[in-house]
Structure formats: C-alpha cells, structure tokens
C-alpha cells in the first residue's frame, strides 16, 4: 500500500477534510495520530478505524498544548514521517469591515495561522534529527487568489500559504518537503455553516442552492493529501489547488 508504515500526525481529524483524510491514509496503511478539539467525533473515528489510530485533544493555538501532544504522538508513533495540518476555523463571514471585531480577527488568526506555525515548529523538531519528513499545510484559494467572505479567514490562509513557502525554503536542506493545499468549495461542516450564514444575511435562495449543489466531496481532497504524503510526491513542490 502507498503509505504502508508511514507515521502521520493529522490535525483537524474529526470532521470534513480531516476525517476523510484520516480514513484515506489509514486505508493506505499509515498509522495516524489524530488531533482535534471535537473529542466525541474524534474518539468515535479512532475507534471506527482501529488500532492503527489514536486520538488526542489539541488546541493548536496553545503552544504548551501543541508541544505536549506532538511529543506524545511522536512517542506513540515511534517518530513522525508526515504532518497533515488541516485544523482551522472560518468565522466572520459577510461581516463588513467597520463591524468586524478584534476578537473574531484574533481567534481566526490564532487558530489558522499561529496554529499552523506552532504545529509545524514542533513537528519539525521531531523530523530534523532524521533528515527527512513531509509537511502539508492547508491554505485556501481565498487566501491566495482572493475572494474570501471573511477578512480574517482570507488573511489567515494567505499567511498559511506564505508560511508554507518559507518552510519549504528553510526545511528543504534538512530533508523535509513542504506543500500547501488550497481546497476549493468542499462539503464540510465549516463550509456549509458559512454558506448558511451567508444565506441568513442575504436571503439569496438562488445563490444558496447553487453554492450548496456545487460543493465537492472531501474525499477528493483526502486523495490529494494522501498522494502528497507518499514517496511518489517527492518531486512535488508548492501550492496545489483542488476543485
């Protein structure tokens, strides 16, 4: 199997793209340390997949918590070969700039951008002595090409894209390959909530129905994640956009 024996840390594993990715990489033979804050769903998923997975509660915006959990996950796995960082939030959709609160801005930046930095930082510390590893961060077309419904979300994902490029440059000499994936409109709880929130504000039923019917299956992004985690993706660098 393509990922047989790979030791993977996966954040945001309890739902959406993270859940689909957990199922995909486990099916391809990987052992998976799954991190999330949705404990009920995370535990259920770990139990459903079986012994090759284990779940940890992890607030990615808290450095002490990230350091502790990454250490425990690395000990359980016996090292870390791959980081698939999917955890994120989408708050502040369709709020005009004068009404956009500092609290919403800070929460989104802390989880999406600071969280990506902290997880990458502590996973890199495990990978560096072995001079090999793979990191895949989750950006967004909204942060690379524009068009976000939220000032904070688009800014945070643009930051994740920039972080991935800097990490690739700085970690490549240490044998660590870094990519970022920019998913399109995917049928996840995060995206569906944003679409419904937009409808509550605009009451544009045609746009609501059109957007909902266009949402793609998260399993497609999971397939991209699994490929990037594999040795077959050794020559792949940069940002990968999905539908």
Catalytic sites, residue numbers: 153
Measured from the Cβ of residue 186, the count of other Cβ atoms closer than 10 Å reads 20
Distance CA 55, CA 235 (A): 31
- Are 108 and 47 in contact by the 8 Å Cβ rule? The answer is no
Residue with tokens 């957990």: 22
SS3 of the chain: CCCCCCEEEEECCCCHHHHHHHHHHHHCCCEEEEEECCHHHHHHHHHHHCCCEEEEECCCCCHHHHHHHHHHHHHHHCCCCEEEECCCCCCCCCCCHHHCCHHHHHHHHHHHHHHHHHHHHHHHHHHHHHCCEEEEEECCHHHHCCCCCCHHHHHHHHHHHHHHHHHHHHHHHHCEEEEEEECCCECCHHHHHHHHHHHHHHCCHHHHHHHHHHCECHHHHHHHHHHHHCHHHCCCCEEEECC
Terminal C-alpha separation, the chain: 26
């Amino acid at each position: 199997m393509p990922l047989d024996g790979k030791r993977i840390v996966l954040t945001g594993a309890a739902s959406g793209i993270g859940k689909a990715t957990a199922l995909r990489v486990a099916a391809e033979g990987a052992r998976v340390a799954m991190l999330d804050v949705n404990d009920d769903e995370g535990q259920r998923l770990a139990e459903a997949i079986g012994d090759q997975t284990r779940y940890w509660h992890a607030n990615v915006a808290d450095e002490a918590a990230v350091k502790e959990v990454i250490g425990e996950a690395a000990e359980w796995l016996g090292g870390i070969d791959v980081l698939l960082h999917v955890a994120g939030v989408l708050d502040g959709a369709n709020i005009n700039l004068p009404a956009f609160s500092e609290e919403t801005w800070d929460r989104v930046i802390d989880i999406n951008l600071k969280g990506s930095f902290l997880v990458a930082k502590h996973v890199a510390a495990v990978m560096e002595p072995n001079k090999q590893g793979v990191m895949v961060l989750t950006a967004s077309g909204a942060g690379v090409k524009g068009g976000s419904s939220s000032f904070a979300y688009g800014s945070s994902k643009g930051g994740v894209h920039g972080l991935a490029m800097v990490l690739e440059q700085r970690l490549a000499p240490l044998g660590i390959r870094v990519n970022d994936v920019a998913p399109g409109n995917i049928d996840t709880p995060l995206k569906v909530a944003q679409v419904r929130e937009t409808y509550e504000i605009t009451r544009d039923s045609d746009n609501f129905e059109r957007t909902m019917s266009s949402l793609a299956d998260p399993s497609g992004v999971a397939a991209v994640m699994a490929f990037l985690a594999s040795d077959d993706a050794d020559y792949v660098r940069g940002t990968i956009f999905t539908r």
